[in-house]
Amino acid sequence: MMKNAEYVKKLKVYLKELKKQELTPSVVRTIIRVKALIAYYKGLSITTVAQCYDVHEKTIKKWIKYFEIQGCDSLPDIERSGRPAKLPEDKQQELKKIIEEQDQRIWVARHVYVLLVSMFNITYSVKYLPEFLRKLGLTFHKAIHHLIKKDSEKRRKWIQEQLPLIYKKQIDEGWRIFYQDEVGIQTEGTLGYTWGAKGQKIEIKNYGRHGRMNIIGAFELGTGCFYGVLTSFKVNAHHYKTFYLSPQTRDENR
């Protein structure tokens, strides 16, 4: 047991060093070997380790044999030449199913890469993976948040039936209800990505007239009246809160 503890300590130190390196295919495979050996020396059987890391039991035994003779020097994986191994059709569908079913996590190329190595012992270039995943019928698009506690029907009923009654009661009692907001508009267009000739820099003329116009406005519920002011001054919290105290709107809003 003492010997196993020493092995685990050495392997953890080596694993820490590996994680600082660039995650090339050989480094990833070496990390998997180290983790498999750590699991074995912590008490898992060879059969269990082989099943967890999807490798043959003879392979695990070989790793153990060479590690106990040569130490961590026996662990680095040799870079393989030639084209990467192809994932069989049934495994491709299994990969697709995993990604589709585990939709509560964010999948990017490096995550898929690790999944392929750990489950199928297959490596693809991270740059090639987007093309590979599109061939499986998957797309790369932005995820959106969904409030799991939201009751859409209850919310609709409250907005369409209860909220108007609340507003009516307040207006009947003499209150005035406003929706207020502000917006800023730049006087010079912003630059972004554009299609153009390959290898040629695209320069758009700038006349140096950078500026910004701001609008503060409020819509009154019940009357449908809109009150607004256009200004070149920066809108801060003070201006926003005192909008209705300005000379041109004070009498109207009394």
Q: How confident is the model at residue 45 (pLDDT cuts 50, 70, 90)?
A: very high
**For the chain, percent of residues with pLDDT exceeding 70:** 85
pLDDT of residue 250 exceeding 60: no
Separation in Å, CA 106 to CA 51, 109, 142, 151, 174? 26, 10, 10, 25, 51
Token pair of 209, please? Answer: 């007239």
Q: Which residues have a Cβ under 8 Å from the Cβ of 5 and sit 6 or more positions away?
A: 41
Q: Which residues pair with 179 in a beta bridge?
A: 219
Are 178 and 245 members of one domain?
Answer: yes
Are 177 and 232 members of one domain?
Answer: yes
Closest by Cα among 244, 237, 239, 217 to 229: 217
In a domain, 224, yes or no: yes
Q: Please give the average per-residue pLDDT across 66-75, as a whole number.
A: 87
pLDDT of residue 240 exceeding 80: no
Are 106 and 156 members of one domain?
Answer: no
In a domain, 83, yes or no: no
Token pair of 234, please? Answer: 């920066």
Other CB atoms closer than 10 Å to residue 148's CB: what's the count?
5
Pairwise pLDDT comparison (252 vs 199), residue with the higher score:
199
Amino acid (1-letter code) at residue 214: N
What pLDDT does residue 178 have? Answer: 86
In a domain, 227, yes or no: yes
152-200: pLDDT as tens digits: 788 888 889 899 899 989 989 989 888 888 888 877 766 666 766 777 7
Are 59 and 93 members of one domain?
Answer: no
Other CB atoms closer than 10 Å to residue 116's CB: what's the count?
21
pTM exceeds 0.95, yes or no: no
In a domain, 142, yes or no: no
In a domain, 202, yes or no: no
In a domain, 41, yes or no: yes
Pairwise pLDDT comparison (238 vs 225), residue with the higher score:
225
Q: State the total domains in the chain.
A: 3
**For the chain, percent of residues with pLDDT exceeding 90:** 8
Domain limit, last residue, from 39, 74, 109? 74
In a domain, 95, yes or no: yes
What pLDDT does residue 109 have? Answer: 86
In a domain, 144, yes or no: no
Are 180 and 214 members of one domain?
Answer: yes
Domain that holds residue 223: 152-188+210-250
Token pair of 194, please? Answer: 């554009």
